[in-house]
Amino acid sequence: MYKIIFVLSVLFMSQCAKGQQVDPTRPFGAVASANSSEKRAALVLQSIIQSNNKKKAIINGQVLNVGDKYKGFDLIAINANGVVLDSPQGRMELLLFSGVIANSK
């Protein structure tokens, strides 16, 4: 009887340990689950493009203008350092990693 309980407890513990292992290829700072605050963090401002006083933002590979909607957010402003997004949950500002602005002709 004790042997059966011991074997079952060892099997159960090994399954628990498997679920808690960390993926070594996971990007730094990545989180496994996806709740609403993590969805906000998933938005990445990749670039700001300025051409003839018009500015466009590239967020997660999507080229957006002021007034465009993306993933439930309204793009309400584009400035030299980042963008401002608005949603029913509130406003959020995404900043460029560096202060570089690409000017297109």
Q: Which residues contact 95 (CB under 8 A, 6 or more apart)?
A: 45, 81, 82
Residue 80 · residue 99 · CB < 8 Å: yes
N- to C-terminal Cα distance for the chain?
80
- Residue range 9-26, pLDDT digits in tens: 766 665 555 555 666 676
For the chain, what are the domain ranges? 36-103
**C-alpha 27: how far from chain center:** 12
At 47-81, the pLDDT tens digits run 999 888 899 999 999 999 999 999 889 999 999 88
User: pTM value?
Assistant: 0.54
- CATH number of this structure's domain 36-103, picked from the four choices 1.10.645.10, 2.60.260.20, 3.40.50.10680, 2.30.30.830: 2.30.30.830
